[in-house]
Structure formats: C-alpha cells, structure tokens
Amino acid sequence: MDKIKGNRRIRLCAIAMALMVGSIIFVGMFNTGLDVTNTTEFCTSCHTMQYNFKELKQTAHWNNRSGVKTGCADCHVPKEFFPKLKAKIIAAKDVWHEIIGTIDTPEKFERRRWKLANAVWQKMEADNSQQCRNCHSFGNMLFAMQDKSARKKHMKAEKTGRTCIECHKGIAHEEPDEPEEEEASG
C-alpha cells in the first residue's frame, strides 16, 4: 500500500514539474512572440503600414540630430504586460483588414484613415498620451529653451491637464482630412 502511495506521489510530482517547466517555456515563447511583434520591421511587413512608415521617416521622431529613432511600438504599444496584450489584441483587427483586403491599397487605406486615426487618438487621450510621456514629460521639459509660443502652450497644458495628442495630432503621420458628412455616415 505504501509503495502504491509512493508511486502516486512520484507521478504527481513528475506531472507538477512537467506543468511548471511547460508553463515556463510557454511564457518565454509568448513573451518572445510579443517582442518580435513590437519591432518596426514586423509592423511594416504589412503592405498597408508601409504608407505610415514612409510618413514616419519624414519626421523628427525618425530623423533628428540626436540619432534617436522612434519605432511603431514606442508610440502604439504600452510597455506594461496587460495593456500591451490588450493593444496586441486590438491590433489584430488591422491585420485582419489587411488580409481581407479592406485596407490593402493606398486608396482603400485613405478611405478608412480618418476612422483609424480617430481610434488611435481616442486611445491616446484615454491613457493621457502615456506613450508620448514615456519620452516627453512636462517635468523634464526645459520651458526656457522653447520658443515663446511652445513654452506658453506647454505650461498651460501642464496646468490644465491636457494630453499631448490634443495638440499634436499628425506629429508622426499625416493628419487625415475629415471626411465629408455623407462619407462619414456611409
């Protein structure tokens, strides 16, 4: 009887160890997958994102005197695990639309661009432009080194709790034109 109990314990321990090792391997592979999908190379592997990438390369977020380049994930993917996971799930719809052909040409993309941009802007407003603030915080700004207009606007924004995207839409990508009333409803 004791031998049966001993064998049972060994089997349970072996199963527990296998589950633990399997879980560690799964989490490692999952995190590696998330890291791979956070690269600009991965993001721009979709034909549609090439339009956005071309625009990004024309901005100070890509070309600047310091040599610092901002990639897709820096602006669009939170660093914390669960918000990052949520962003990835939401982004899957863009991949889906690329696959089914909803946004697979420049013309189709431009027709949906206002809607897509607004979704990003709403997310950024809701999280207080956290991705912007990872690099640009009011506390680290040297207001005295900004021109008079920027200094005045940034100081007011800090006092009133405004978020970056409220003023800086179109900073890394061309700001889309708002569609005509009949296009917007259809």
Residue 113 within a domain: yes
From the first residue on, what is the mean pLDDT of each consecutive set of 10 residues in the chain (186 residues)?
76 93 92 89 86 91 90 92 89 88 89 92 93 91 94 95 92 89 55
Q: Which residue has the tokens 């708002």?
A: 178
Q: Are residues 91 and 23 in the same domain?
A: no
pLDDT at 23: 93
Whole-number Cα distances in Å, 180 to 47, 111, 175, 176, 184: 27, 11, 15, 12, 6
Residue 137 within a domain: yes
Instruction: Note down the domain range covering 109.
Output: 48-185
Task: Report the predicted TM-score, pTM, of the whole model to 2 decimal places.
Answer: 0.77
Residue 42 within a domain: no
| Secondary structure (3-state) at 33 | helix
